Each structure stands twice: as structure tokens, then as C-alpha cells.
Structure 1
Amino acid sequence: MDNLEVPIIFGKIGALSRTVNEVIVVDDTIYDIVTTITLEDDSYTWDFENVFAFTYNQKTQKFHLDQKSFHSLTTQLKVMPMILGLLNGKMVKIGKNEFRINRSEASKFLSDMQQVYKLLLDLKKVYEIYGINEDRVVHEVEGRIPLLKGFVFWTRATLYNDLKGLLLADPNQSCFVNLTIGDLTIVCFYISEEKKLVNIFNDLYYTKPIKLVSKEDPTINCIHSFFVLMNTESFSYAENINYEFIRKSFDNIDPFINRAFCIIPNLDKS
């Protein structure tokens, strides 16, 4: 290189890596998965969709499975069935490599992954209830609820009416709840009478009005939209916010029926 001589004879390649759309066959089931394949000494590592990394040592015939990131629900549901087949000891063919792992050695991994897969199937139902896009990539955020812990609570609360772990200022008072899981914010509504969380953006709830009552004079009151109870964080960040439902809710009330609850601009001033 110009006048610089590099002694390449002493160089050593530590690993070879490539990323491809790999056709993976587990028994008779075919999966088409973006895979980064790394060859290092006697071991192969397959990184599936940046979600799972599976390392297999040909010499020792030992393996290691590493769960890297959540990415999206779509990606998880795409990769997980293949991982379960692999851990179940089924024959796996990746390119020219064909192997079967010892099911007894994978029993701990298999048990954990079966639980995760059940959670993912429940989470798919919860996504549908709250109108969340399954392709939405979700990231961990320091200081917020970890993804796995948050998804477990969200599915328990939504599908099984289990609110264990939910801290409220007053459990006897219905209120909006902003559930933050990683960088995902979901606005829920806590119904105190039924002790459950629901997605407020559906036909069962958006039409329900509330009554605003003056603290100074209870005789001054006004029927208003349910959504005036939402805070700015909900409006700014909630993944499931639906402005069409909010608009319909305001169409059902007359916000000018009582001037005590309206902010009327002074049109007399220029």
C-alpha cells in the first residue's frame, strides 16, 4: 500500500461472518429467516433476525442459546416456533449444516421458551384489543418497566383481570393509567367498580359521558367528554390513542352548555 509493506503472512482470520435470507428446515417445516452466520474455529453461530443467537460447537457438540432482543411481536412469532422445534430435538438443516441437539440437554431452555411462546400468543391478543401494530419495534429503556415484566403484567391485567402490582393513589376511584413498557406507552382505563384495566378506545366506553361539578357550587355542573380526564402524556405518547373516538365523544356533548366550564376567548380586544 503505497510505500507501506504489510506482513499479511502473519495475519490470522478470527471469524467469518455473512448475513443472508436463510432457508431453515426443522423436520418438514420450512422457515425463511434473516440470519447472520458466523464461523469461528469449530463453532457456528446463527443470529436469527437479531432476536436469538444459537451457537453450536461441532467438536464438543455443545450448544448455547442467547435471547438478544425483543424487536417486534411479528419477529418473535416468526422465529419462536423454529426455536421450539430446535430445542425439541428435531432435525435442523441450515444450508449445508445438518444437526440435531440432545433434547434432554435442552430441557431447561425448552421449558423457558415454551413459557415465553405462551406469553407471545397472549400478547398477540392484547395487541389486537389495544390496536397496537405487531410490526412496531419495541426497545428496552433504562428506568422503565423491562419488556418481559411489563408484557406479563399487561397480558395478565387484560386477559385474566389480574392487577397484581398495579399501584393506584385511590383503588376506589376510576382513572386513566399510562402503562410504559420499554419505549411503548399504552393508555388504559382503570374501572374501579370492576377492578380491571380496559382499552378506552372502543365502542363500549368512548360514548360514556362524565359530569363536571364545581367545587365551590355543586349546582354548577356540566356533562362533558370522557377524554377530558386524559393527561398530556397520553395524548403525546400513547401508542393506542385513537383521535377518531375522541372526536366522536365530543360530538355527543355540548361543551358550551355551561359557560362556567368553558374557556371563551375575549373577542372585544383587538
Structure 2
Amino acid sequence: MATRWTLVLVLLGTIVFINVGHTFAAGDPDSDPPLAPLGPVPVPPDNPITAEKTELGKLLFFDPKLTGDASLSCASCHRPKQGWGYADPISRGYPGTIHWRNSQTVVNAGYHGKLFWQGNSKSLEAQARTANKGGVAGNGEDDVMEERLRQTPKYREMFRKVFGDLEPQLMNAWRAIATFERAVLSQTDTPLDRYLQGDKTALSPPALEGLKLFTGKANCIECHNGALLSDEKYYNLGVPRAEAWSTSGMHQITFRFEQYAKGVHENLASIMGSAT
């Protein structure tokens, strides 16, 4: 009998643990990670955060030297006054092009393991490099961007101090930008974080009602879960394209060029809707 009750208690303990640790939606057989406060931002061992590197990264983030014609910077599409993102439906592109997507905010981007809308960059360092070199974004060439840094006395001094470079190395520019984003743009002191850490006064009554819906009847937590409020998966939600897709020749030409560059040669008309 003692053995039986021990088994029952273990099973009950397991059930309680699962219910506390995960959220089950009605009719949903799988479990979703519970909401949780954000901890310290992950930092790669080969790119530790320092005050000097953060300052260098901030300068580079706002400097147009790291693009093709030196007319754009990271901040051109990730605007501080627009939540470090881009407020328009479609982001601006490199001069002579138009982007077909919206620039995501870089706030808390350091927590994500997948960056860009298709998740093709796995780190902030890789994202910075890809964005500044992308044909409809920065369109920069490695040798040109690096030479601009080397011809700037302040950068020569700062790269030598931060990285020990005799002359600025472009790969270290991406490391500095990533450090700035991790150190400055990681926000963990939000009302939701404080509430999840135990401060039950952090959320207003309407916000608490919203949280109840979010994790319950509305089932937002099915996709927006965990500390990131995201399962980092990709879904086709059927959101219609912006009107410019079918009315702007620049949008169509830019998109066609990108698709051809990726090896897509057929059915572009169907991809672009009414565009011809």
C-alpha cells in the first residue's frame, strides 16, 4: 500500500509540475512554454561586452560609411524615434531600389536565434554584415567599407584600442555593432517583466484582463510564448501585400531582381499578384 501511494504522489507531482510549467490551450494536444521574464542578454564568448566596444558600435550604427554610396546607416531603417524599426509598411531601400519588407525593430534582437523575416541570420554579428551588404539595403562592398574605416583617424584609434587592430578590420565592425545592440537595446525592465518577477502591482487591471485573455481564451500564447513572447517559428497568415506591389514599377523591378538572383525564374506574375 505504501508503494502504491508513493506512486500516486509521484504521478500527481508530475501532473502539477506540467500544469504549472506549461500552458495547454483547449483542444491543443501540445504544450506551450509559459510566459517568463527576460534574463540577461546572451553574449557570445568571442565577443564580450565592454564600454569601449559599445561606444564604437554606437558610432558605427549611425555612420553611413558602412554602405555602398555612404548615404545610409543602420539607423536609416532602424530609427530610434520609431521604436528602432521602420514605421512605414515597406522599408526604404538602397538608392535606386525599394525594399519589399518592413525593417524589424532591433530592440531585444540579441535574444533571438533567428534574425530577418526568413531567419537566415543566426547572430547579431551575421545580421549586421548581411544587412550592410544586401543589394536592397546597404549594398556595401567589403574592401570599400573597410577602407573608409581605415581612412578615419578616430576609427583607427578606437579599433586599435578595442580590438588591437593595427588597421580597422571590417569583421570587427560587425562585432562592435552587435555589442551596441546587446548592451543598449536590450530592455528587461518592462511592466510584464516586473509582474512575472513577482511585482503584482506592475500591471494595471485592464492589462491583467488582457493577460488573462492572452494566455486563455484568445490563445495568443500558442505562438507568443516564453520569455521572448515568440516561438521563433514562421507562419503564412495570409496578410495581403502592400498596394505598392501592384502599382509601383520600382517595387516590381526590385523584387523581380531579387527573385532572379535567388534562382526563381518562373511564375513571378503569380508571386506578385496583379503585377505583370
Larger Rg: 1
Q: By percentage of residues, which structure has more helix?
A: 2
- Scaled by the length of structure 2, the TM-score of the pair is 0.24
- Scaled by the length of structure 1, the TM-score of the pair is 0.24
Q: By percentage of residues, which structure has more strand?
A: 1
